[in-house]
Amino acid sequence: MNAITPATSQHLPVPQLAMSQYLTFMLAGEVYAIGILNIKEIIDYDYLTDVPMMPEFVRGVINLRGSVVPVIDLLARFDQGHTQIAKRTGIVIVETDRGEAASQPLMGIIVDAVNEVVGIAAEDIAVPPSFGVDIRPEFISGMVKRNGGFIVVLNVETLLSIEEMISLSIAK
């Protein structure tokens, strides 16, 4: 007869915390993050074509391999002026998740500098404070304490809402 050997603690897998990857970047001296699954690519800042009658935070459009991609100035989107273009300024190309849409719209966001990709456990993301934040609370998914400071995790769907941008351009 075959005997069944009970599993010992030596053979059990150690549970790992579920980590998600985030791209961190600098903007006006603060560290922000976007989920890496939303990032299509990172490119150097280059010439933008101005588009009339757009909200102030839409700095223009770029041609990305034949696709017209609007470029958003996050600092202007946060109502904090305009991003000053410098040597490390980049454009992060972001896919916004539109569910059933076959192709997800691409948008570029201007950042002062790209930092790194970091793993963050879901339980480490705290609810953002309801006061004392310089940007609209719905733009923030959460805050992560790291290296003595905070990383602001952005809500891409709200921040880059096409519907809101259309309504703002119509109101203009």
Domains of the chain are: 19-171 (2.40.50.180)
Strands 140-146 and 58-64, by their bridges, are: unpaired
* pLDDT for 156 beyond 50: yes
State the pLDDT at residue 165: 67
pLDDT (tens digit per residue) in 29-54 = 999 999 999 999 999 998 999 988 88
Stretch 83-106: mean pLDDT: 79
State the pLDDT at residue 102: 46
State the pLDDT at residue 168: 61
State the pLDDT at residue 7: 47
DSSP 37-63: GGEEEEEE----B--TT--TTEEEEEE
- Residues 139 and 154: their CA atoms lie apart, in Å, by 6
Stretch 66-73: mean pLDDT: 93
State the pLDDT at residue 152: 92
The helix/strand count (H/E) of the chain reads as 3, 10
Residue 62 pLDDT level (bands cut at 50, 70, 90): very high
